[in-house]
Amino acid sequence: MSIKERKEPSYPILLFFLPLLIGTGFSFLINPNASLILALLCSFMLVYTYEAKTFEQENFYKQMRFRLTVIVIISHIGILITN
């Protein structure tokens, strides 16, 4: 989408990896698995929010992207609960 709309892709990439880097730093202080999964959840939500506000998308794509993001977040929360 960044190529199609001629937008710089480095900002979404940074948004995705920044929580992971912060989560890695916190993993030494608390449970490593939980902090990394929480960092991933933050990354998913940040990228989804950025993409929804920045790019013009068709309705079918918005709905698909929302559903996939919710499924991935629920799956990660399930992993947190079971561990």
Three-state secondary structure string covering 20-46: HHHHHHHCCCCCHHHHHHHHHHHHHHH
Tokens describing residue 42: 């933050």
Confidence of residue 1 (pLDDT cuts 50, 70, 90): low
Domain parsing of the chain, residue ranges = 10-82
pLDDT in tens, 26-53: 666 677 677 778 778 888 888 888 888 8
Contact criterion met (CB below 8 Å) for 23 and 40 = yes
* Prediction pTM value: 0.66
Query: Residue 18: pLDDT band by 50, 70, 90 thresholds?
Result: confident
pLDDT of residue 27: 66
**pLDDT value at 67 more than 90:** yes
Neighbours of 47 (CB within 10 A): 17
Rounded to the nearest 5°, which phi and psi values hold at 6? 55, 50
Give whole-number Cα distances, 2 to 6, 16, 44, 51, 62, in Å.
6, 15, 17, 10, 16
pLDDT confidence of residue 3: 62
